[in-house]
Amino acid sequence: MTHAQNRERLGDMDASEFRVAAHRVADLVADYLEELERHPVRPSLRPGAVRAALPETAPAAPESLDEILRDYASLIEPNITHWQHPGFLAYFSSVASGPGILGEWLAAGLNANVMFWQNAPAPTELEERVVGWLRDLVGLPEVFDGMFTDTASVSTLTALVAARQALPGLDARRRGLAGRPEVGALRLYCSEEAHSSVEKAAIVVGIGRDGVSKIGVDTEFRMRPELLEAAIERDRRDGALPCAVVATLGTTSSTSVDPVDAVADCCERHGLWLHVDAAYAGTAAISPRFREPLRGWERADSLVINPHKWLFTPLDASLLLFRQPEIFREAFSLVADYMRTPETPEVHNFNEYGIQLGRRFRALKVWMILRYFGGAGIGRRVEQHCDWAREWADWVDAHDAWERLAPVPFATLCFRYAPPTLRARGDAVVDRVNQAILDAVNDTGEVYLSGTRLAGRFALRVSIGNPRTEWRHLERCFELLEEAAARAETG
Amino acid sequence: MTHAQNRERLGDMDASEFRVAAHRVADLVADYLEELERHPVRPSLRPGAVRAALPETAPAAPESLDEILRDYASLIEPNITHWQHPGFLAYFSSVASGPGILGEWLAAGLNANVMFWQNAPAPTELEERVVGWLRDLVGLPEVFDGMFTDTASVSTLTALVAARQALPGLDARRRGLAGRPEVGALRLYCSEEAHSSVEKAAIVVGIGRDGVSKIGVDTEFRMRPELLEAAIERDRRDGALPCAVVATLGTTSSTSVDPVDAVADCCERHGLWLHVDAAYAGTAAISPRFREPLRGWERADSLVINPHKWLFTPLDASLLLFRQPEIFREAFSLVADYMRTPETPEVHNFNEYGIQLGRRFRALKVWMILRYFGGAGIGRRVEQHCDWAREWADWVDAHDAWERLAPVPFATLCFRYAPPTLRARGDAVVDRVNQAILDAVNDTGEVYLSGTRLAGRFALRVSIGNPRTEWRHLERCFELLEEAAARAETG
């Protein structure tokens, strides 16, 4: 059936046209992945240039897939920042591995909506299994139940709504927070280094930014539990209502690890909900080598680990684990008449535990990744990334011109160019030189790093987590940094 | 490179293995779509059966893609409820069309994270364009800016956080809601027929279920504006703090349309935020035939339309439009040091307008769908679905044994089997017979309907919105209903 006939039929794309197109797209993606290094990691673009090249209004008449794919190839693919590129060392790597991509493809074909069991029996039960697989792989006890959400932002928000629901006598689900003179101001605790999503969740649930108590950190950027204890006591004295503590395992700037065991002690003493943000470092626990620093996280009430970070899973997939599913259900469950199905207590109706009713079939890609690489294979990849970061840290430590700005517990390194002569000119100058180094290195297009601030100082930041990255990419990155440093200091 | 070597290398799936696998998956999905009707729409399964067939722990060693795809084919694909099936007439259809699937595949290959412009220049700018295309296609004025979120649940939640932020003097972002004796109880207004996501959002933002004022509806299930007016006045007198009104265009049970112009008048009088939930019916406005009943929606402060419902878009994609982007940014923007990029006021950093930091590249699939079908082509498909629903409604109206339970403004029909003899036995009996009809029809596996309750009565509910559905599927559905009705009454 030709395209014109298909149009007339008012149906979907014809089956035979779809098959041909699917093979074409399969090659487009395979080509892209094979030739990733032909692209600069970050394209050089003027803001608005792509938009200006796109028509201002949608076409009224159908266009052929040829035209659409031609524009994709010329306008979209070359003008993205290439998260898949082995030289992408910025932020936290977020990589769609081969088996993960294929899992997304199958899920897109099925388009199952995992709201409740009856509408998605196998997807629901696969999710139950894969959640258990991941929990076991990272060494957490069976008491944890859980589900996938889209992002850590939503996982943490969901956990905070449950924490609020667990406050005795508050019943925020029914009564809300405002207009209740008997209720004190809510308080949430996290370290100064916690992710912005914690503060965003606090805004959403009605705690507000002022209600977020950002606890000071030690010289290694870890929450100081004695300051947490003091803050809770002070708030209680002042009539505020402490609600939850968020401990971060692998903060976003330096991947520091809050002393979660001591934090859990404090939560226990005060009867507070403990949420653990292990969005980054949780995956590392698949290797037994990295479990020790996380010890105590098994005491969490809720916990987030992001497969779409270091578990090579395409966007999006965040794992939310919880100890008391009944609190999540109590907080969120609303079953309207149009969604009522026969009771199936043996299985989850996942929409009742969280914010979203519609839910993508995320378990499929994670299942394919875990089987294709194997648990031990994932662990060895994580270990290799950490070994490389360790090697890089040793190199930085061995060279006077470079300065490490934080410990390297995993595969992320914060450092700066700071030879004694430069350092003598003060931090503001060192910051400026390092910003120039970052820009110069990123402008090469061969690698892409990010920057952050640690204890007031600008830091270059490298994070290794792409299974396509090889040692040669890191060596090249050293070279580019040294070249840029030499130029920046003389420039 | 063999699988064993690949394992040794600790990298991703080898490029040549990926290419072969990609073509295999392309055929798997093409086969699935071609042979959809071989599956019963809803599988016959015991809860827990799929889970029991899956190992309890993840494999330590890698498995071959052959094994994984074999299990996919035997265990997953046959055991889902087939949302793609032309006989799926339940809930609202949510269909991944051919161009939409291909868009997801390309997006999974790129894995761009559309947090901010620098990390996703083309995806950001394509999203800007596609948002504008959709706004124009449904006839909304240019004053609306917007973005994609994952679901209507999140779009509405995001809008309510903005509405709360817009309340003069409250500053919930900074100060939260609790422990403020000067602040009255927050109130949110929607009709009794509004979607459960409105109430869920009210729980999350600290309004609470008691704070949701469910306004009564008329005999056609539309919000009664005079009751809304009275409720707001009463709440103001009682010292409560009205926050926002949600008008629904296309409610989930009956697709009724709230009188949005009158609701907007009321919001204007009281200075209240108007959020319009057009998740279902918004798409209909692509056809000028269906714009009239939505008149007044252009006065909304925020508005949601779900491409993953009637716009043939794979899960997930919800369009959130807003009139004052600065309020969303004021409510949500948090830019941490590790995310700071040079200022680019010409383009959006979309994470600053909503809950999630990580964002999938959703614009790509919507762009491909709009181009492949064309705006007029989408409109003609929507019209065809509505015409078929109209025809069905006429058939129901012409037959004494069947009773229509609501108007049919779009492509969703609520009705029941209620011949005079049965009706004489009372609504409880009629309900039971219709539940039996529903079960019997669904058990055939040929079609899949859902049920709901309208004005206390159980209704069979058919929603047409799959471009793969043809008239013959609906005819077959009539037959099955009549057979089941004959059996249910005698049984």
Domain regions of chain A by residue span: 103-373, 376-490
The single-letter DSSP state of residue B338 is G
- Predicted confidence at residue B491, as pLDDT, reads 59
Check if A174 contacts B (Cβ < 8 Å): yes
Check if B28 contacts A (Cβ < 8 Å): yes
Point out the residue among B82, B176, B452 whose CB comes nearest to the CB of A185: B176
Omega prior to B235 cis, within 30 of 0 = no
Give the DSSP letter string of B453-474.
EETTEEEEEEE---TT--HHHH
Check if B23 contacts A (Cβ < 8 Å): yes
d(CA B298, CA B60): 56
Q: Which two tokens stand for residue A303?
A: 């916990």
The DSSP element (H or E) to which A404 belongs, if any, is: strand A402-404
Tell me how many degrees the CA angle B233-B237-B240 measures, rounded to the nearest 5.
Answer: 90
- Predicted confidence at residue B245, as pLDDT, reads 98
Of the residues B256, B316, B355, the best mutation for testing chain A's interface (the one with the most A CB atoms within 10 Å of its CB) is: B355
Mean pLDDT confidence for A466-487: 96
The single-letter DSSP state of residue A88 is B
Cβ under 8 Å to A: B residues 327-356: 331-332, 334-340, 344, 346-347, 355-356
Closest chain A C-alpha to B231 CA, distance in angstroms: 18
Model confidence band, residue A340 (pLDDT cutoffs 50, 70, 90): confident
Assigned fold of A103-373: Aspartate Aminotransferase; domain 2 (3.40.640)
Contact present, B344 and B272 (Cβ < 8 Å): no
Closest chain B residue to the Cα of A135, Cα to Cα: B57
Q: CB B179 to CB A176 under 8 A? A: no
The single-letter DSSP state of residue B76 is I
What is the CA A148 to chain-centroid distance, rounded? 13
d(CA A69, CA B121): 19
Residues paired with residue A145 on neighbouring β-strands, in sequence order: A322
pLDDT digits (tens, 9 = 90+) for A197-232: 999 999 999 999 999 999 999 999 999 999 999 999
Check if A126 contacts B (Cβ < 8 Å): yes
**Residue B249 main-chain phi, psi, to 5 deg:** -110, 95
d(CA B6, CA B18): 11
Check if A288 contacts B (Cβ < 8 Å): no
- Predicted confidence at residue B337, as pLDDT, reads 84
Check if A30 contacts B (Cβ < 8 Å): yes
Cβ neighbours of B364 in A, within 8 Å: 72, 76
C-alpha closest to that of B276 among B184, B386, B363, B152: B152
Cβ neighbours of A23 in B, within 8 Å: 23, 26-27
Check if A461 contacts B (Cβ < 8 Å): yes
Check if B435 contacts A (Cβ < 8 Å): no
Cβ under 8 Å to A: B residues 185-204: 185-186, 195-197, 199-200, 202-204
C-alpha closest to that of B255 among B226, B278, B224: B278
**Diameter of chain A by CA atoms?**
76
Q: CB A25 to CB B26 under 8 A? A: yes
d(CA B97, CA B313): 6
Q: Torsion angle of alpha carbons B424, B220, B93, A112, nearest 10°?
A: -80
d(CA B23, CA B118): 33
- Please write down the HEC assignment for all residues of B251-299: CCCCCCECCHHHHHHHHHHHCCEEEEECCCHHHHHHCHHHCHHHCCHHH
pLDDT digits (tens, 9 = 90+) for A358-384: 999 999 999 999 999 999 999 999 999
Domain A376-490 of CATH type 3.90.1150.170? yes
d(CA A375, CA A224): 34
Task: Supply the angle between the helices A363-373 and A98-110 in degrees, to the nearest 10.
Answer: 150
Check if B310 contacts A (Cβ < 8 Å): no
Check if B256 contacts A (Cβ < 8 Å): no
The answer to whether domain B103-373 and domain B376-490 are alike in fold is no
Which regions of chain B are under pLDDT 50? 1-7
The single-letter DSSP state of residue B40 is -
Residues paired with residue B457 on neighbouring β-strands, in sequence order: B454
d(CA A90, CA A448): 6
C-alpha closest to that of B384 among B274, B470, B288, B260: B470
Contact present, B146 and B155 (Cβ < 8 Å): no
Closest chain B C-alpha to A384 CA, distance in angstroms: 8
- Predicted confidence at residue B489, as pLDDT, reads 76
Closest chain A C-alpha to B107 CA, distance in angstroms: 9
C-alpha closest to that of B379 among A63, A62, A64, A66: A62
pLDDT over 80 (residue A490)? no
Of the residues A1, A9, A10, A12, the best mutation for testing chain B's interface (the one with the most B CB atoms within 10 Å of its CB) is: A12
Closest chain A C-alpha to B139 CA, distance in angstroms: 12
Instruction: Give the three-state DSSP class for A414.
Output: strand
Q: CB B25 to CB A178 under 8 A? A: no
Q: Which residue has the tokens 């049965």?
A: B422
Q: CB B34 to CB A12 under 8 A? A: no
pLDDT over 90 (residue A300)? yes
Q: Give the pairing of strands B212-215 and B402-404.
A: unpaired
Residue A27 burial (CB count, 10 A): 14
C-alpha closest to that of A359 among B322, B20, B153, B72: B153
Closest chain A C-alpha to B214 CA, distance in angstroms: 14
Of the residues A31, A67, A115, A125, the best mutation for testing chain B's interface (the one with the most B CB atoms within 10 Å of its CB) is: A125
- Predicted confidence at residue B339, as pLDDT, reads 83
d(CA B81, CA B452): 19
Mean pLDDT confidence for A241-252: 98
Contact present, B283 and B309 (Cβ < 8 Å): yes
The mean of the pLDDT values for chain A is 96
Residues paired with residue A305 on neighbouring β-strands, in sequence order: A319
**Residue B61 main-chain phi, psi, to 5 deg:** -95, 150
Cβ neighbours of B470 in A, within 8 Å: 11
Q: Which residue has the higher pLDDT, A5 or B35?
A: B35
Dump strand ranges (E) for B288-374.
Answer: 302-305, 318-322
C-alpha closest to that of B93 among B440, B461, B452, B454: B461
Point out the residue among B47, B171, B359 whose CB comes nearest to the CB of A344: B47
Residue A16 burial (CB count, 10 A): 12
d(CA A306, CA B396): 51
Indicate the pTM of the whole model: 0.97
- Predicted confidence at residue B7, as pLDDT, reads 40
- Predicted confidence at residue B343, as pLDDT, reads 86
Contact present, B225 and B272 (Cβ < 8 Å): no
Cβ neighbours of A123 in B, within 8 Å: 76, 80
pLDDT digits (tens, 9 = 90+) for A62-75: 999 999 999 999 99
